[in-house]
Amino acid sequence: MKVLIYDPALCCSTGLCGPEPDPVQLNVNETILMLLKQGVSVERFNLAKQMGEFLSNIEVSVLLRSNGKDVLPITIVNGKVIKTRSYASYQELCAALGLKPLKGTVKFLKQD
């Protein structure tokens, strides 16, 4: 089971730097931690620092060329794009992976 997250340009690999971390990035980080607990492999790629990863994935490259940077973030589960333009929630990722979400361990922030 593998999740790939293609992030827009972030100041660091997690987006959690600075005096006031972005609540959306906090949620993404918590989601990743939960998936890791469930044995899922998760990789994140930052547009500002890992452009080669964006170009080497044909599907991501085509989405970027067709839609521009507004298509980011892109989430891929087991080779299939499941979400663009916003981060997939923990529940969406569990559904795509066929996993039962863990309960009572993390409070997730509401995402649009």
How high is the pLDDT of residue 110? 47
Contact (Cβ atoms closer than 8 angstroms) between residue 54 and residue 40: no
Neighbours of 84 (CB within 10 A): 17
pTM for the whole structure: 0.86
Q: Which two tokens stand for residue 18?
A: 């600075």
Tell me how far apart the 2 most distant CA atoms of the chain are, in Å.
Answer: 41
How high is the pLDDT of residue 103? 82
The whole-angstrom separation of Cα 20 and Cα 78 is 33
User: With a cut of 50, which residues of the chain have pLDDT below it?
Assistant: 108-112
43-59 residue pLDDT tens? 999 999 999 999 999 99
How high is the pLDDT of residue 112? 40
